[in-house]
Structure 1
Amino acid sequence: DSPEVHTNTAETLCAITRFAPAGLSAKISSPSFIGRLFSHALEDSRPKSVLVNSLSICISLLDPRRISFGAYHSYNRQMTNGSTVTANPETIEGMLESLGDLLKLLDVSSAENLLPTTYGKLQPPLGKHRLKIVEFISVLLTVGSEAAEKKLIDYEAVQRIINLFFEYPYNNFLHHHVENIIISCLESKSSSLQEHILRDCDFVGKIIQAEKHLTLEAGTNKPTSPAEGKSPPRIGSIGHLTRISNKLIQLGNTNSVIQEHLQGISEWTDWYMNVLSNRNAVGNVSQWACGYVVFLDLHVFLFHG
């Protein structure tokens, strides 16, 4: 049960899914293999590295272009402009069989382990296995599977993941995956998935509430809490919330479901006019008054105040 062995094994299997002949890769993508993989990974007696690396294999099966080993992955949404990937429906079905058990692991309410941090404490820390589950869900949503979307709605998976986003306001790896999940839902061809993220998950309402409490709150019984006797720090998810909010506005220009939802929330309109617009203006470097750019023949930029 060495984590190094688990990682090496997963890397080998992922390489097979990408480069091996169809017959061999088909065995790895079969529902029976997926079932055995999750059966071992979800055993209580096995270390979490088994689950993490098993999910890396599943991610590779869903999207072979993605390399998800190490602290971060080298594939991102911008490389393909959020395009839908194609995966074997039988492979997806095999993964969905274990989805319920996977999502149970996202529950942090009963975990007691504590991690002191510079800003306070995490009780419990998110952990690599939960982060990997969220990454797996983010990739699963890119395949455009109606069966997967229905399961995720039925299990309230996206709602739980959104809660993690706000419960762990300094985990930028988590925020990145959740942002991709939100955008996949909003860009989905399924109106039920869009309705789910907007109404059932009340994501716009959560954005507005987060903007009202920009510093880490104490005494909330959430996993992340500030240090006693210190000024609570600013939450670290504002950049992601800003990007998602701008994406909502962009999609609302062509999507009636999103547009009607945003127009029905007066607080959103006020926040957009008074906060988001100003924030976007501050972030627009072309409007900065600090100077102008001169391009020299030596390809050097000089900024004159």
Structure 2
Amino acid sequence: ILEDIPDLWNITDLRSLRSCDEGVISFLDSAEVHANAAETLCAITRFAPPGLAAKITSPNFTGRLFRHALEDSRPKSVLVNSLTVCISLLDPKRLTFGIYQTYRQVSQGPMIAANPETVEGMLESLGDLLKLLDVSSSELTLLTTYGKLQPPLGKHRLKKFAQPEKADWLFINWHGILQIVEFISVLLTVGSEAAEKELIRLGAVQRILNLFFEYPYNNFLHHHVENIILSCLESKNVPFVEHLLRECNLLGKILEAEKNCTLTSDPNMPTISAEGRPPPKIGNLGHLTRISNKLVHLGNSNAEIQAHL
């Protein structure tokens, strides 16, 4: 399919465009080829001519892509690859394949000028997507050198499980959650007030912030959450900044982490320290330091932030 992409540039007939995008989405049904289908769509988002670009960034297309991925009958890996396409639609220049490549992108850079209609199509299914961030029903546990994860969250951790019947859940747990958080991170760089309002309504930032503190050794997660927090703080939408500082209690969580900077032994937490040994320091202090420095910097010119400080 990738070899035939240059032929797509000459497509101008609307029926051909419809056939093209519907055909590629249909490939997402197959567990064998959906990763290639997603890569094809990402390539199209980067290099498509105006006619095709307008088609694949339309709310109808993005809405169908989300609904397709969230159907219960689909493999969870379809959701992960569909989110990759959505990330590319929001930010075509972003390296969307490979977590290591994503981690290397230390800064989101300038605000992305995404099509508001593209964002609109994604918001329709945002609530169903965010439900997948709740992993409290899992009974899986994993012993580590510093303690125990319940449930584990991370690709390399989950390689230790050899339970085929758990494979689908494990995939959405380690990769899906990181991909959802990355998607929210990119969505916030668009500067869409509609997206910010919906994230407030759904409690998305609060849940993601909780994950940051519940998994203090997941650096990939911390990277995306830090970008989310910075986007929130730099938002021109005052209620959104207020939501982060008040309802999400960002400052309170930072101060609590500074006061109790060792891993908890609370058995109700997802990450707990090993018994019979001193608890280690939490691993997200570097991210918290950068967030704190950003708060102080913004507080010098933002009365709302300064009041909370």
TM bucket normalised to smaller:
0.7 to 0.9
Residue 11 of structure 1 corresponds to: 39
Answer with 185-194 or 111-120: which moved more. Answer: 111-120
Residue 252 of structure 1 corresponds to: 299
3-state secondary structure, aligned to 1:121: strand
The answer to whether 1:115 aligns with 2:162 is: no
Displacement of 1:254: 0.6
Displacement of 1:77: 5.4
For residues 2 and 113 of structure 1, the distance between their equivalents in structure 2, rounded to whole angstroms, comes to 28
Answer with 151-160 or 30-39: which moved more. Answer: 30-39
3-state secondary structure, aligned to 2:279: coil
Residue 302 of structure 1 corresponds to: none
- Where relative contact order (Cα < 8 A, 6+ residues apart) is larger, the structure is 2
Q: Which residue of 206, 213, 223 maps to 2:253?
A: 206
For residues 79 and 200 of structure 1, the distance between their equivalents in structure 2, rounded to whole angstroms, comes to 25
Written as runs of structure 1 = structure 2, the 5 A alignment for 1:252-291 is 252-262=299-309
3-state secondary structure, aligned to 1:218: coil
Displacement of 1:48: 2.1
Residue 113 of structure 2 corresponds to: 86
3-state secondary structure, aligned to 2:100: coil
Name the CA shift for 1:257/1:114 in 2 (closer, same or farther; >3 Å).
Answer: same
Displacement of 1:33: 1.9
Question: 1:66, 1:73 within 8 Å by CA — same for their partners in 2?
Answer: no
3-state secondary structure, aligned to 2:151: coil
Residue 104 of structure 1 corresponds to: 131
Written as runs of structure 1 = structure 2, the 5 A alignment for 1:220-231 is 220-231=267-278
Displacement of 1:165: 0.3
Displacement of 1:79: 6.6
For residues 10 and 38 of structure 1, the distance between their equivalents in structure 2, rounded to whole angstroms, comes to 13
The answer to whether 1:62 aligns with 2:90 is: yes
Displacement of 1:251: 0.5
Q: Which residue of 138, 156, 172 maps to 2:185?
A: 138
Question: 1:141, 1:181 within 8 Å by CA — same for their partners in 2?
Answer: yes
Residue 216 of structure 1 corresponds to: 263
Displacement of 1:95: 0.3
Question: 2:108, 2:227 within 8 Å by CA — same for their partners in 1?
Answer: no
3-state secondary structure, aligned to 1:136: helix
Displacement of 1:61: 0.5
For residues 232 and 8 of structure 1, the distance between their equivalents in structure 2, rounded to whole angstroms, comes to 44
* 1:66-94 CA distance string (max 9 Å, x none): 112112335735373xx210111111011
Note the residue ranges of structure 2 that are not aligned, 5 or more in a row.
1-28, 154-173
Displacement of 1:40: 2.3
User: What's the TM-score, normalizing by structure 2?
Assistant: 0.80
Name the CA shift for 1:3/1:67 in 2 (closer, same or farther; >3 Å).
Answer: farther
Answer with 206-215 or 4-13: which moved more. Answer: 4-13
Answer with 210-219 or 65-74: which moved more. Answer: 65-74
- The letter of the residue matching 1:105 is L
The answer to whether 1:76 aligns with 2:105 is: yes
Name the CA shift for 1:26/1:52 in 2 (closer, same or farther; >3 Å).
Answer: same
For residues 186 and 98 of structure 2, the distance between their equivalents in structure 1, rounded to whole angstroms, comes to 17
Displacement of 1:4: 5.9
Question: 1:153, 1:196 within 8 Å by CA — same for their partners in 2?
Answer: yes
Of structures 1 and 2, the larger Rg is shown by 1
Displacement of 1:2: 6.4
Count of aligned pairs: 260
- The letter of the residue matching 1:30 is S
3-state secondary structure, aligned to 1:73: helix
Q: Which residue of 28, 44, 54 maps to 1:26?
A: 54
Displacement of 1:109: 1.4
Residue 158 of structure 1 corresponds to: 205
- The letter of the residue matching 1:29 is T
Name the CA shift for 1:207/1:10 in 2 (closer, same or farther; >3 Å).
Answer: same
Residue 279 of structure 1 corresponds to: none
Displacement of 1:118: 2.4
For residues 223 and 43 of structure 1, the distance between their equivalents in structure 2, rounded to whole angstroms, comes to 28
3-state secondary structure, aligned to 2:272: strand
